Amino acid sequence: MTQLALFDLDHTLLPCDSDYEWGQFLARIGVVDSKYYATQNERFYQDYKEGKLDIHEFLRFALKPLSEHSRAQLKEWHDTFMEEVIHGQLRQQALDLVKRHQDQGDICCVITATNSFVTRPIVERFGIEHLIATEPATTNDVPLANYTGEVKGIPNFREGKIQNLQNWLASQNLSLSQLPYSYFYSDSMNDLPLLEQVSHPVATNPDDRLRHEAKQRGWPVLELFA
């Protein structure tokens, strides 16, 4: 019996926001103007938590540094980011949650608004094969082509997650309606549209608004980092 387990990443499997931490890391090592970038990063992060993020404005800001450096240089920085920032944020409770689904034979997939450059190495650390993320556009389709600073396709945010998930499932010859069980673990009210689509929504380390919504709907609440 095929089952699907979807996981948001930031504040769900990780007790931090990888997009925000990547921005802070770039500011810290002097790749971007520290004061300006830190201030803007904080503004967008607060907008996200309050449910009023302009995703297109944010992505123009977040993807710009990717377009200004080679893929080789970006990988070198990201390797350091993984070791200095992300490694210490990996929690056994989150790894165990993923493994339980994997041991059941479920299809496991991270579905996140954060771009795939930042998140793919993190998702690999969890041993998860599949990732649906916001995709940075490249100058062409050859491997390791430089980034343009634009988005490829639909930003993987709010309702965009539903469309991108449907497209991905179709590529796997599947659909949500075919799956007897589908789980989605998320911390954020921004993910309400997708939480409503699965058979088993789980509010995971939820923000205040999602916690209230889960209580009203009788959804389970999971505290991974309590």
The catalytic residues are: 8, 10
Q: Around Cβ 102, how many Cβ atoms within 10 Å? A: 16
Q: CB pairs under 8 A, 24+ apart, for 115-120?
A: 115/19, 115/59, 115/62, 115/63, 115/66, 117/66, 117/74, 117/78, 117/147, 118/18, 118/19, 118/22, 118/78, 119/9, 119/18
Tokens of 107: 């299809």
Q: Which residues, including other chains, have CB under 8 Å from residue 150's CB and lie 6 or more apart?
A: 63, 136, 137
- Distance, CA of 132 to CA of 64 (rounded, Å): 21
CB 225 within 8 A of CB 93: yes
- Distance, CA of 185 to CA of 191 (rounded, Å): 9
